Structure 1
Amino acid sequence: MRGLNMRFIIPIVLSFAGHAAADCECGYSSSIGGSVGPYIFTDLIESDFLHIPNITLDTDWKRQQFNMSAAAGRGPYGMNYSIEQVTSNPILNENSWSGDGEFGVDPGVQLTVSGGDPANGFVQTAEIDSAREDLLWGTYRAAMKLTLTPGTCAAFFWYFNDSQEIDMEFLSSQFNIDNNTFPVNLVLQSVQSVQAGYNAAGTGNYVVANLPFNPTTGYHEYRIDFIPGNVIFYADGQILAKMNSTAVPTSPGHMIITQWSNGNPLWSSGPPSHDAVISVSYVKAYFNSSDPMREISLTKRCKDPRAENAICAIPEQTSAPNPDGNNGNVSASTYFFSNQKKETNNQTVYKKSEATTAATAGPHGSISLFLLLSMIAIVLL
């Protein structure tokens, strides 16, 4: 993928009008893992949780409500994922990016694990899932402030099923301020890991990386880049690990952010002695879709990928997007295409654009779209 000229790998689906009717109509570009040329992704989800007043109304996300038994979770306690454990704490001034939220410190969407010994044997836990389940190759980013309270597992991950899953998992019991150790567990769940009892440690697709910062004192961006045969993990733009494996998922899936505890001493530990809270300030996902309706939308809106501003570069987040402190209005004011005019035409962002998806599309969607967008439709010559 080199050179100056761009062309789509299947130009038969495109017409060329010579100019872009709207900015970014052909997609969003990003360097992946230090690649020479950019990868282009056609769809996006952007959620500015610092300013979304009520997560219950956000059509891009679903709070989860379900129980998991102790046996199913492989721990001494069961878990009750409850919608009440997911709450919004927005900054009320839409023009401000710093300071406390409406209900106190750590603005954004908050996911809480209840503390203490659960009387009914079920720990109260929290999870949100993206409403769209057609997410394939892409760059997936979440800004979060984690908890120092021991005894929980916080995670940001992409999920199709238990054998096609990409995880960034943070075990608060592993955090050690005294020696500045803050691990993140980077995992590709695969058929092999499922066969090993959901243990990826022996599959070659498990890395423990130490974060170069304390993730409990401020917000940081955690990022997963997912392209055919490769997954790259980042923190604040710094590469933590690369995985090149046949275990890399090949099916479309969805994003999940969760915090849980089931008392398993080999993983989450806990439950925590008191309530443990993580806060999410944003999620930004730029991806290729397996939804046939999104294929139709792309061919209608993308008139000429070579036109000025037809493809927009995704800004790289290389510093902590932290709303705390005197510099919060600068550091936390990150770029959202959905906050600009004409940069999310025919996208599906909550309250920002009005496009739709095929709710009845199967998990593999349209095979023609899968092939069309699996490497997004350009090659740099």
Structure 2
Amino acid sequence: MMRFLLFAIITGLAAAQSGRSARGVNVKNAWVVDKQYTFQKNSYWNFSSMANMAIGQVPSGLKASNYPVDTYFFSPANVLVKDGYLQLWVKNKSFRSGEVTVLQKVKYASVRTVAILSEPAGVCNGMFFYQSDTQETDIEFLSNAKSASNTDATSDANAKSNTRWLWLSNQASSYTGTKTTQPVALPANPTTTEHEYRLDWLPGVTKFYVDGVLVWSSTKNVPSVAGTWVFNNWADGDTDWSAGPPATDAVFKIKEIDMYYNTS
């Protein structure tokens, strides 16, 4: 069943063009997405139209993180708005990582991120909602094809060796539960070409899109409380996941964030 599902997703993405989701429409001081979902607010950051900023500085509404996590550390020194992108860095042979969060607390959202993923093996690029380890939904890219998670997905799909995957997940809603996750095929040339990665978190369901095409949805382990939207690029020594650090500098480049959301 897993192999059939992965094959279908691979086929669908290969046929898709590098498109974008339709923007939400403002109707009576609310934002309507896909002609059916209504949100209170819209925040839009177009980094391609911004001037370069000093290291660690980000535009209004965002915050560069500064805190440790286990073996790695999120530092504002690894966050840079330059040359038309929000750049989140992991420096070579280092676990010092880059992260930006949205200041506004969010409860349900449609978030579209136009980005170029990191090429060097050994990092995780993340675009996700987080309130706690049991209230989280993610889009993540593991750049190391040798990561145990990537190699397991490749084996399950009977795919070509050294295949990397885009990981879509709802984390387990209890500490004794099991997360809901699906690896899907990456769009063409994701580490050199801009693509749109979209996550819709709605009451009772999460929907995941690549270049405007729905690639997976889930009604299991869907978050239900307000929290924070996060964008990051990080590495640790976990061979099952990020399998880092990278041998050369790894940069996750975000061109646009288009976010429709309700507040807590």
What's the TM-score bracket when you normalise by the shorter of the two chains?
0.7 to 0.9
Determine if the alignment matches structure 1 residue 127 to structure 2 residue 99.
yes
Determine if the alignment matches structure 1 residue 110 to structure 2 residue 87.
yes
Give the structure 2 partner of residue 312 of structure 1.
none
Q: Which amino acid aligns with 2:237?
A: G
Identity %: 27
Determine if the alignment matches structure 1 residue 279 to structure 2 residue 260.
no
Using the TM superposition, give the Cα deviation of residue 59 of structure 1 relative to its aligned residue in structure 2, in angstroms. 2.1
1:50-88 C-alpha deviation (Å, 9 max, x unpaired): 12333725221000011223xxxxxxxx11211010001
Q: What CA distance in whole angstroms lies between the structure 2 residues aligned with 1:251 and 1:238?
A: 27
Using the TM superposition, give the Cα deviation of residue 221 of structure 1 relative to its aligned residue in structure 2, in angstroms. 0.7
Q: Which amino acid aligns with 1:86?
A: V
Retained in 1: the 8 A contact 2:173–2:222? no
Q: What CA distance in whole angstroms lies between the structure 1 residues aligned with 2:124 and 2:185?
A: 16
Q: 2:167 aligns with which of 165, 185, 191?
A: 185
- TM-score relative to the length of structure 2: 0.79
Q: What CA distance in whole angstroms lies between the structure 2 residues aligned with 1:151 and 1:220?
A: 21
Report 1:168-317 matches (<5 A).
168-174=139-145, 181-192=163-174, 194-195=175-176, 200=179, 205-245=180-220, 247-290=221-264
Q: What CA distance in whole angstroms lies between the structure 1 residues aligned with 2:189 and 2:164?
A: 6
Report 1:50-89 matches (<5 A).
50-53=48-51, 54=53, 56-69=57-70, 78-89=71-82
Matched residue SS, 1:160: strand
Determine if the alignment matches structure 1 residue 48 to structure 2 residue 37.
no
Q: Which amino acid aligns with 1:210?
A: A
Q: What CA distance in whole angstroms lies between the structure 2 residues aligned with 1:270 and 1:191?
A: 28
Greater share of strand residues, 1 or 2?
Answer: 2
Aligned-pair Cα RMSD in Å = 2.0
Do the aligned partners of residues 146 and 212 (structure 1) sit closer, same or farther apart at CA in structure 2, a change above 3 Å counting? Answer: closer
Determine if the alignment matches structure 1 residue 155 to structure 2 residue 129.
no
Do the aligned partners of residues 124 and 138 (structure 1) sit closer, same or farther apart at CA in structure 2, a change above 3 Å counting? Answer: same
Retained in 2: the 8 A contact 1:155–1:259? yes
Q: What CA distance in whole angstroms lies between the structure 2 residues aligned with 1:57 and 1:115?
A: 23
Using the TM superposition, give the Cα deviation of residue 249 of structure 1 relative to its aligned residue in structure 2, in angstroms. 1.1
Matched residue SS, 1:289: coil
Give the structure 2 partner of residue 15 of structure 1.
none
Q: Which amino acid aligns with 1:27?
A: A
Matched residue SS, 1:151: coil
1:3-26 C-alpha deviation (Å, 9 max, x unpaired): xxxxxxxxxxxxxxxxxxxx6442
Using the TM superposition, give the Cα deviation of residue 274 of structure 1 relative to its aligned residue in structure 2, in angstroms. 1.1
Q: 1:26 aligns with which of 29, 36, 54?
A: 29
Instruction: Count matched residues.
Output: 224
Q: What CA distance in whole angstroms lies between the structure 2 residues aligned with 1:195 and 1:113?
A: 32
Determine if the alignment matches structure 1 residue 166 to structure 2 residue 153.
no
Using the TM superposition, give the Cα deviation of residue 216 of structure 1 relative to its aligned residue in structure 2, in angstroms. 0.6
Q: What CA distance in whole angstroms lies between the structure 1 residues aligned with 2:162 and 2:236?
A: 26
Retained in 1: the 8 A contact 2:129–2:229? yes
1:295-315 C-alpha deviation (Å, 9 max, x unpaired): xxxxxxxxxxxxxxxxxxxxx
Retained in 1: the 8 A contact 2:63–2:101? yes
Do the aligned partners of residues 143 and 57 (structure 1) sit closer, same or farther apart at CA in structure 2, a change above 3 Å counting? Answer: closer
Do the aligned partners of residues 195 and 44 (structure 1) sit closer, same or farther apart at CA in structure 2, a change above 3 Å counting? Answer: same
Give the structure 2 partner of residue 38 of structure 1.
36
Gaps of 5+ in 1: 1-22, 32-36, 70-77, 90-100, 102-106, 291-381
Using the TM superposition, give the Cα deviation of residue 215 of structure 1 relative to its aligned residue in structure 2, in angstroms. 0.9
Rg larger for: 1
Do the aligned partners of residues 57 and 81 (structure 1) sit closer, same or farther apart at CA in structure 2, a change above 3 Å counting? Answer: closer
